[in-house]
């Protein structure tokens, strides 16, 4: 074979290889929705929606392990014992950490362990048993922060990740969906929980519930358990988290005042049911029927009486008990509020000076 023949042979082989490569790229791009690069990157990056590694990388470093130590003062030094363990979330570069109240409520000393190996002794800035939240403070540099988007409400069906330190085995990620929102009646009535089937076990309390972007949407707080005699070892797949918008608001109040100041007017009531509506001869089922008045309280001084029906608070229509209690709690003690009531079928207004709710013990 002479030089010319060899050159033509090599040229044909090169052209054939280029044509086959072009065909391969075209077919690959078609199968991957027009993305030429995806055929070469499957070993290092997946864009198929099945991996949440990016979200975990964004959120997980800011989720800390919390160890609360109880010291027995009647025993010799170094007699401290691990009282409780849980998780927390670093919320600001100043070192503020949010966690659950029940994680730190009886601690004499609180140790915070970061995922990068650093450990800090923390102080309790403030706590609120009503919402089971507490704020801690550590002093450190270059602290990892959790991404937060307060304007992105969690919706039923959203995929979520729970990050925490279950049973002290180390940071763990569990995955599930938002099963329901607005779950009330599980606490004091001052919050509505997010319900999820992502596993939240002992040690997860105070950890992060994040969306698939890694944004914080809730603080893990509790798991619903059933009787182990039922044969399922107490596992129910029902867990709860405090919505981030509420947790963030409570955190701000704890940092400012060390506690949450809530208004109260000294009465109890219940939602209007068909039976109550019939007894009180009410035109509809909206409002709160007053059942009892605290002696010498703000409501009593304003002449609110049992069997009155509160239909508006500061001119806002009140459809039920939860909204009314929230509005009263959010009113600064010492301010005057206007109650629009129905009494004996007639509408009238009462003016009440809001007092302060006593802290739960």
Express each pLDDT in 166-208 by its tens digit.
Answer: 888 889 999 999 998 876 544 345 567 899 989 888 888 999 9
Structure tokens at 79: 């007699």
Angle ∠(133,60,137) on CA atoms, nearest 5: 40
Structure tokens at 325: 């209690």
What pLDDT band is residue 110 in, cutting at 50, 70 and 90? very high
Fold of 263-356: Pdz3 Domain (2.30.42)
pLDDT in the model for residue 148:
94
Question: In this model, does residue 112 exceed pLDDT 90?
Answer: yes
What pLDDT band is residue 287 in, cutting at 50, 70 and 90? confident
Q: Which of 68, 205, 211, 308 is catalytic?
A: 205
Q: Which of 128, 132, 192, 308 is catalytic?
A: 132
- Cβ count within 10 A of residue 133: 27
148 or 285: which carries more pLDDT confidence? Answer: 148
User: Class of 159-244 per CATH?
Assistant: mainly beta
Known active-site residue 102: yes
* 286, 272 Cβ separation under 8 angstroms: yes
Structure tokens at 80: 């401290």
- Cβ count within 10 A of residue 5: 9
Question: In this model, does residue 91 exceed pLDDT 70?
Answer: yes
Reported as a single tens digit per residue, the pLDDT across 322-334 is 889 889 988 999 9
pLDDT in the model for residue 237:
73
Q: Which of 102, 192, 211, 239 is catalytic?
A: 102
Domain segments of the chain as ranges:
3-39, 159-244, 263-356
């Amino acid at each position: 074979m002479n030089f010319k023949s060899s050159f033509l042979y090599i040229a044909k082989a090169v052209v054939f290889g280029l044509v086959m490569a072009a065909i391969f790229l075209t077919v690959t791009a078609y199968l991957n929705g027009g993305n030429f690069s995806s055929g070469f990157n499957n070993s290092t990056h997946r864009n198929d929606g099945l991996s949440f590694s990016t979200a975990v990388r964004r959120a997980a470093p800011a989720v800390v392990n919390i160890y609360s130590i109880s010291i027995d003062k009647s025993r010799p030094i170094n007699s401290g014992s691990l009282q409780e363990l849980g998780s927390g979330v670093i919320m600001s570069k100043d070192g503020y950490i949010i966690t659950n109240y029940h994680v730190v409520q009886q601690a004499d000393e609180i140790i915070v362990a970061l995922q990068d190996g650093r450990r800090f002794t923390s102080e309790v800035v403030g706590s609120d048993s009503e919402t089971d939240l507490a704020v801690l403070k550590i002093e450190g540099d270059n602290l990892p922060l959790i991404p937060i988007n307060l304007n992105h409400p969690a919706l039923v069906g959203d995929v979520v990740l729970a990050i925490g330190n279950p049973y002290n085995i180390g940071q763990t990620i569990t995955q599930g969906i938002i099963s329901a929102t607005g779950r009330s009646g599980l606490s004091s009535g001052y919050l509505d929980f997010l319900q999820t089937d992502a596993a939240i076990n002992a040690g997860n309390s105070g950890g992060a519930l994040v969306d698939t972007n890694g944004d914080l949407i809730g603080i893990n707080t509790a798991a619903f358990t059933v009787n182990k005699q039922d044969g399922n070892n107490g596992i129910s797949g029902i867990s709860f988290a405090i919505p981030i918008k509420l947790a963030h608001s409570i955190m701000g109040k704890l940092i400012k005042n060390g506690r949450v100041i809530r208004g109260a007017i000294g009465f109890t009531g219940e939602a209007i049911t068909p039976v109550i509506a019939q007894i009180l001869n009410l035109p509809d089922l909206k409002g709160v029927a007053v059942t009892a008045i605290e002696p010498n309280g703000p409501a009593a001084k304003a002449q609110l009486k049992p069997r009155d029906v509160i239909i508006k608070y500061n001119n806002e229509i009140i459809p039920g008990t939860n909204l009314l209690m929230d509005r009263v709690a959010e009113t600064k003690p010492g301010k005057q509020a206007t109650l629009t009531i129905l009494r004996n079928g007639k509408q009238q207004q009462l003016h009440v000076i809001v007092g302060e709710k006593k802290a739960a013990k």
